[in-house]
């Protein structure tokens, strides 16, 4: 990876971008993207769209989502402890002893998820942490002291863990789900511009907000763009670590390539074009099956407007919704390559219908 791309990746991943509060991360992403697009727009809730060939009638979307799971302060005790609500699929099981940032108008306030020591816990207390039992300690001795720090009900809480490289093979950090996707689609746009590729259609590079609470950003922007085609990238589970049941979760590996999904929301002809592209370009890939929904922004685009030809290219990831989400460097490059090569194979006004 070139150094400028790597520097952007680190900066973008380390910046907090909690669901509903993605503004700063979106600004970082847009500044990186601007040299590679013709124009851009931002919607009411913060989804950012970079556009190449904005005057073209036929519209192709490549999309990722920008938000990360987090917490809200929900209750402040008289003695200064904070209880929380989830913002997205946050996992209280990984919270105890973690350090966090509480976002206030006065700036970041540091805090920790406290937990009783093993010496003093009673057997009936040795249960998995839940949202009702985890709490934050910000060093305050009273509710008034907490409020003087700028903390209030509704303040957003994110983990402070940052990006690292593991064994020179893996990228590790919080919120790779799915800002790594935003990085990958931005790299596609960069390659198109730097390699002077001329597209016969409009390409919309979409970094959507609020995926973690129900695909909401994609839902809104799909109705605004009204695309003809949408290629979504998100993460999926590597199932090789302990405790995964492959009979239900599939047999997927970090390091063996992008995952192409089969399912009702995935348009078969578009999916087949992606598979043919991978085979022709000698890009390794894996296959996965979805049930009623993919659980990604693919669903929001597929079922928008009069129906959009949509497909999903996933990045295998270990330890989803933890602070050590892990992806293989090769897979990141192969997802970029696959989206790039597929975009070049789409024809102007291509009809993806099964028959007419």
Q: Which residue has the tokens 């685009």?
A: 301
* Residue 322, phi then psi, degrees to nearest 5: -120, -175
212 is in an annotated binding site: yes
The tokens describing 29, both together, are 């992403």
Question: ∠ CA(347), CA(353), CA(356), 5° rounding?
Answer: 115
Phi-psi region of 80 (alpha: psi -120 to 50; beta: other; left: phi over 0): left
Q: Based on the number of CB atoms within 10 Å of its own CB, is 184 exposed (0-12), middle (13-18) or buried (19 or more)?
A: buried
User: If you ran DSSP here, which 8-state letter would residue 92 be given?
Assistant: G
Contact assessment for residue 26 and residue 17, using Cβ atoms and an 8 Å cutoff: yes
- Tell me which of 22, 211, 219, 325 is the catalytic residue: 211
Residue 334 labeled ligand binder: no
Give the start-end residues of each E strand in 215-348: 229-237, 259-262, 286-289, 309-317, 325-328
| Six-digit token string for 56 | 């073209």
Q: Output the CA angle 272-186-270, nearest 5 degrees.
A: 10
Residue from 291, 278, 297, 265 nearest 341 by CA: 278
211 catalytic? Reply is yes
- Asked if residue 348 belongs to a known ligand binding site, the reply is no
CB-CB neighbours of 223 under 10 Å: 12
Element (H, E) at 134: none
Count helices and strands in the chain by DSSP H and E runs: 9, 17
The verdict on whether residue 234 carries a ligand-binding annotation is yes
Question: Do residues 156 and 103 touch, judged by C-beta distance below 8 A?
Answer: yes
Across 80-155, the runs of DSSP E, i.e. the strands, are 81-87, 99-104, 107-114, 135-137
Closest by CA position to 330, among listed 286, 276, 273, 272: 286
63 belongs to an annotated ligand binding site = no
Q: How far apart are CA 93 and CA 319, in angstroms?
A: 13
Annotated binding residues for Zn(2+), written as ranges, equal: 65, 177, 212, 234, 321
Task: Give me the active site residues, please.
Answer: 211
């Amino acid at each position: 990876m070139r150094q400028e791309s790597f520097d952007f990746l680190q900066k973008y991943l380390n910046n907090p971008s909690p669901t509903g509060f993605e503004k700063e991360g979106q600004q970082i992403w847009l500044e990186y993207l601007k040299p590679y697009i013709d124009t851009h727009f931002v919607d009411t809730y913060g989804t950012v769209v970079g556009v190449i060939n904005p005057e073209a009638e036929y519209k192709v979307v490549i999309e990722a989502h920008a938000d990360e799971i987090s917490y809200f302060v929900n209750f402040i005790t008289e003695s200064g402890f904070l209880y929380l609500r989830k913002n997205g699929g946050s996992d209280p099981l990984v919270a105890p002893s973690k350090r966090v940032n509480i976002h206030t108008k006065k700036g970041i306030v540091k805090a920790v998820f406290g937990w009783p020591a093993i010496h003093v816990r009673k057997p009936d207390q040795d249960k998995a942490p839940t949202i009702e039992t985890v709490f934050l300690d910000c060093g305050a001795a009273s509710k008034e002291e907490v409020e003087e720090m700028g903390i209030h009900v509704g303040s957003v809480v994110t983990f402070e863990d940052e990006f690292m490289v593991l064994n020179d093979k893996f990228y590790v950090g919080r919120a790779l789900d799915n800002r790594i996707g935003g990085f990958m689609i931005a790299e596609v746009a960069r390659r198109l511009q730097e390699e002077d590729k001329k597209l016969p259609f409009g390409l919309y590079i979409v970094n959507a907000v609020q995926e973690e609470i129900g695909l909401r950003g994609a839902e809104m922007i799909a109705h605004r763009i009204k695309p003809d085609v949408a290629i979504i990238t998100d993460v999926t589970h590597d199932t090789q670590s302990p405790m995964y049941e492959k009979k239900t979760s599939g047999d997927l590996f970090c390091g063996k390539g992008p995952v192409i999904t089969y399912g009702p929301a995935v348009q078969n002809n578009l999916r087949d074009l992606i598979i043919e592209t991978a085979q022709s370009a000698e890009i390794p890939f894996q296959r996965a099956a979805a049930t009623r929904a993919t659980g990604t922004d693919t669903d929001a685009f597929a079922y928008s407007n009069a129906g959009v030809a949509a497909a999903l290219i996933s990045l295998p990831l270990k330890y989803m919704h933890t602070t050590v989400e892990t992806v293989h460097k090769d897979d990141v490059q192969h997802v970029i390559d696959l989206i790039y090569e597929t975009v070049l194979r789409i024809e102007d006004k291509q009809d993806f219908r099964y028959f007419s």
